[in-house]
Amino acid sequence: MGLSLCLEGLCHTYSSGVVIELTSLQLAGGKPAALTGVSGSGKSTLLECIGLLKPCQCERYLLGGFDVQNLHSERERALFRQGHIGFMPQSGGLIDFLSVRDNLRLQLELALKARGEGGNKGQYRQLFEEACALAADLGIGSLLSQYPHQLSIGQRQRAVFCRALAAKPDLLLIDEPTAALDPANAHLLFALIAQVCRKSGCCALVITHDEQSAAQFATRCALNGKLSQLRTQQAAAAGQSLNFNVFSPLPAAQREQLHEISEMTAAVTQCPVAVSGEDR
């Protein structure tokens, strides 16, 4: 049985009192999903909660059959995050004073240590060889000795992607990977993400504004202020679903005023999600 993610009843409260509630999220291994929506709608916060970077309450969180809620201390969560979750942030993601090769080495060392496999040199060598092979497939195999500042934007993005996947995480979380790319390179990067994730079998969730490029994923989850909750038959068939809402604890009158403002500014006060999935 392949990897899967099952999450229910996730709730995060901002300091302002606004609450994000993720009703349910199911991801199948090897089938990357994309969450699209306007800026300020809570996409990145959602990603950080799933990645154990932000505090939240959760009724159920299973990853590959492991109950993440059994991680009670921050140290336990940090080790699990390091060993089993790969991140591709919107910016950064590489250590500036290390070459691409050494960035890969460091990622592997930290992940294996977090899993309790730090002394397994055979496993380390195998993963490093596979990471270098992935870099070659991504067109940056000849750039492993280069430093981040010596790479183009597209090359850095592919290097960060390679680093995030180096230790073969169970879950890959990607935040706005094409924000600094032109449309052609953005489409290419999404194609690479889809191809590699399907081959590795990991669960993957991508946050993006680029709906056109995200359309090549099996499932797309659109987030804005006008859609109503929906789980389509196609999404159900793909084994993935997402119901996501943002609630404000303000009085109804103030909430209506904020909603009118949000429609004009593309900021979201209440934003159910529509899920549409099409195998392409």
Residue 67's alpha-carbon distances to 60, 64, 85, in angstroms, are: 8, 9, 14
**Residue 252: inside a domain, yes or no?**
yes
**142 found inside a domain:** no
Burial class (CB in 10 A: 0-12, 13-18, 19+), 96: exposed
> pLDDT digit string (tens) for 141-186?
999 999 999 998 888 988 999 999 999 999 999 998 877 777 777 7
Question: Does residue 107 form part of some domain?
Answer: no
Poorest-confidence range of 69-78, 124-133, 245-254, 255-264? 255-264
pLDDT confidence tier of residue 46, bands split at 50, 70 and 90: confident
Structure confidence at residue 218 (pLDDT):
61
Cβ atoms of 179 and 90 closer than 8 Å: yes
Residue 50 lies in a domain: yes
Rounded CA gap, 96 and 112, in Å?
Answer: 22
Bridge partners of 273, per DSSP, are 223
Task: Give the end-to-end CA distance of the chain in Å, rounded to a whole number.
Answer: 23
- 30 and 198 Cβ atoms separated by less than 8 Å: yes
The enclosing domain of 262 has a CATH number of 3.40.50
Residue with tokens 């404000």: 248
Domain count across the chain: 1
* Average pLDDT of span 128-150: 93
Kind and range of the H or E run holding 95: none
Question: Containing domain of residue 227, as a range?
Answer: 1-64+202-280
Q: Tell me if 146 is assigned to some domain.
A: no
Residue 30 lies in a domain: yes
Q: What's the CA gap between 221 and 206, in Å, rounded?
A: 10
Nearest to 24 by CA among 245, 263, 266, 279: 245
Given the structure tokens 């999600």, which residue do they identify? 273
Question: Looking at residue 44, what is its pLDDT?
Answer: 84
Spatial CA neighbour of 21 closest among 273, 252, 259? 273
Question: pTM (2 decimals)?
Answer: 0.77
The answer, yes or no, to whether residue 102 has pLDDT greater than 60, is yes
Residue type, 146: Q
Is residue 230 in some structural domain? yes
Determine how many CB atoms are found less than 10 A away from the CB of residue 41.
24
Q: Does 7 reside within a domain?
A: yes
